[in-house]
A and B are shown apart, each in its own frame.
Chain A
Amino acid sequence: MHATRLLSLERWKKWIWSFVRLTLIAGLSFVILYPVLQKISTAFKAKSDLYSPIVVWLPENYTLDNFVKAIGIMDYWQALLNTFTLSALTTILTAISCALAGYGFARLKFKGSQLLFAGVILTILVPPITILIPVYLNLKDFSLMGLIPLLTGKSVNLLNTYWPFILTSATANSLKAGLYIFIFRQFFRGIPKEVEEAAYIDGAGVGKTFYRIMLPNAIPSIVTVLLFSFVWQWNDSFFTTTYLTSSKVMATQLGSLPYNLAILLEDGANSKADPFYLSMVQDTGILLAILPLIIIYLFVQRYFVESIERTGIVG
Chain B
Amino acid sequence: MKSILRLDRRSYNEQKALMGFFYVLPWLLGFIFFFLIPLLSSLRYSLSSVQANSDGLIVHFSGFQNYVEALTVNTEFNRSLADAILNMVINVPLIVIFSLFLAVLLNQKFIGRSLARSIFFLPVILASGVILSLESTSLIQAVNDQNAGAGAIQGLGTFELEGLMLDAGLSEWVVNYLTSAVSRIYSIVSQSGVQILIFLAGIQTISPQLYEASKMEGATGYEAFWKITFPMVSPLILVNSIYTIIDSFSNNAMTDLIRETGFTQFNFGLSSAMAWLYFAAVALILAVSSYLISKKVFYYD
* B268 beta carbon closer than 8 Å to chain A: yes
Chain B positions 114 through 138: 1 when the CB is less than 8 Å from some CB of chain A, otherwise 0: 1011111111111011110111011
The 6 closest A-B pairs by CB, nearest first: A171-B30, A108-B20, A104-B23, A173-B30, A134-B38, A279-B139
Contact between chains at B17 and A314 (CB < 8 Å): no
Contact B31 A31 (CB under 8 A): no
Task: Map CB proximity to B onto A79-115 as digits: 1 under 8 Å, 0 otherwise.
Answer: 0000000000000000001101101110111110100
Does the CB pair A134–B45 fall under 8 Å?
A: yes
Is A133 a contact partner of B45 (Cβ separation < 8 A)? yes
Known A-B contacts A38-B141, A127-B279; the reply to A301 vs B118 at CB < 8 A is yes
Other A-B pairs, 15, CB within 8 Å; known A18-B110, A297-B125, A314-B198: A32-B120, A32-B189, A100-B26, A104-B21, A109-B17, A123-B31, A127-B250, A129-B258, A133-B268, A171-B31, A173-B34, A173-B35, A238-B255, A290-B126, A315-B235
Q: Is the CB of B128 within 8 A of A172?
A: no
**B118: contacting residue among A123, A125, A278, A305, CB under 8 A:** A305
| Chain A positions near chain B (C-beta within 8 angstroms) | 18, 21-22, 24-25, 28-29, 31-36, 38, 42, 50, 97-98, 100-101, 103-105, 107-111, 113, 116, 119-120, 122-138, 141, 167-168, 170-173, 181, 200, 206-207, 210, 228, 231-232, 235-238, 241-242, 251, 254-255, 257-258, 275-276, 278-280, 282-283, 286, 289-290, 293-294, 297, 301-302, 304-305, 308-311, 313-315
Stretch of B89-97, B168-176, B270-278 contacting A (4+ beta carbons < 8 Å) = B270-278
Inter-subunit contact A101/B23 (CB<8 Å): yes
Contact of B28 among A33, A116, A125, A133 (CB under 8 A): A116
CB contacts (< 8 Å) of B129 on chain A: these are 235-238, 251
In the complex, chain A residues whose CB is within 8 Å of the CB of B259: 129, 132, 242
A-B contact pairs, 26 of them (CB 8 A): A21-B105, A31-B186, A32-B189, A42-B140, A100-B26, A104-B27, A125-B286, A127-B275, A129-B259, A129-B278, A130-B39, A130-B276, A134-B37, A134-B45, A137-B57, A168-B34, A228-B124, A258-B134, A276-B140, A279-B137, A279-B139, A283-B141, A286-B138, A297-B118, A301-B118, A301-B121
> CB-defined interface of B43-76 with A at 8 Å, one 1/0 digit per residue?
0010000000000110000000000000000000
**Contact of A22 with B110 at beta-carbon distance under 8 Å, contacts A126-B39, A127-B255, A276-B140 already known:** yes
Nearest neighbor of A279 in chain B, beta-carbon distance: B139
Contacts of A24 in B (CB 8 A): 105
